[in-house]
Amino acid sequence: MKATAIETEDRDSILRVNAKWEPDKVDELLAVLDKDIEHIQRSLSRLNELRRLVIKREDTALGKLLESIQAESDNYRSNELKRQSARKELAIAFGCSLEQMTLSRLEDVLSGEKKAQVSERKAKLRSLTKELKKEHLGTALLLSECARFNHVLLKTILDIGKTEIVHYNCNGATSRQTETAFVNLQF
C-alpha cells in the first residue's frame, strides 16, 4: 500500500526532529528483540526436552530442567524491562502512547536498513511465537493425558471411589469391600 504525501511528510518530519536519538534507540530495541528471539528458541528447545523427559520418566533430569526454566525466567525479566523502557522512549519520541508503539508503527516510521531490520525481527518473532503456541499446546495435551492416565491407573489399582458394595457390622459401622482392589487397603 502506498503512503500518501501527507503520511510521508509526517514521517519525514518526525525523523528530522528525532534524528539525534533514533538510531540508538532503535538499535537498543533491536538488541532486546534479538534476546527475545533467543529466549523463544530456547523455550522451544526446552518444551521438546520436557516432553522427552516426561515420556522417558527421567525424574531427576526433569527436576533439573524445571529448575533451570525457573532460573532463566527470573533472569529474563530484565530483558522485558529493557523492552518496555525502549518502547516507552520511542513512544515519547514519536509522540504516541506506549500501547501505540508497536513494531508495525516503527516499521511505518523508519526507512532504509533500520526498517528492514525491524521487519526481519518482527517476522521472526511472529513465526517463532506461532511455533511456540503449537508446541505449548502439544506439551499441555501430553501432560493432560499423563494426568488422566495416572488418575485411571490409581483408580484401578486402589479402587478409589468404588461404592458398589458396603458392609455393615453389628455396631452399624460401615466398611468397604477391600478384597476386590489390586491393593488390599485393610491393615
The domain that holds 141 is classified in CATH as: 1.20.58
Grid look-up 532460573 returns 71
Q: Pick the residue with more confidence: 33 or 93?
A: 33
Question: How many whole angstroms separate alpha carbon 115 and alpha carbon 112?
Answer: 5
CB 55 within 8 A of CB 143: no
Domain contains 88:
yes
Domain contains 100:
yes
24 CB neighbour count, 10 Å cutoff: 10
Grid look-up 525479566 returns 77
Domain contains 81:
yes
Domain contains 187:
no
Domain contains 32:
yes
Domain contains 179:
no
Q: Kindly give, in sequence order, each residue whose CB lies less than 8 Å from that of residue 159, ignoring residues fewer than 6 positions away.
A: 178, 180, 181, 182, 183, 185
Chain segment 90-102, per-residue pLDDT in tens: 888 888 888 999 9
Domain contains 89:
yes
Domain contains 72:
yes
The amino acid that residue 63 corresponds to is: G
Q: What's the domain range around 145?
A: 5-158
- Tally the domains of the chain: 1
Q: Pick the residue with more confidence: 162 or 78?
A: 78
The model's confidence at residue 13, banded by pLDDT at 50, 70 and 90, is very low
Taking the CA of residue 32 as centre, how many other CA atoms within 13 Å lie in the half-sphere pointing to its CB? 19
pLDDT value of residue 153: 82
Query: What is the average pLDDT across 14-19?
Result: 44
CB 43 within 8 A of CB 90: no
Question: How many whole angstroms separate alpha carbon 60 and alpha carbon 79?
Answer: 30
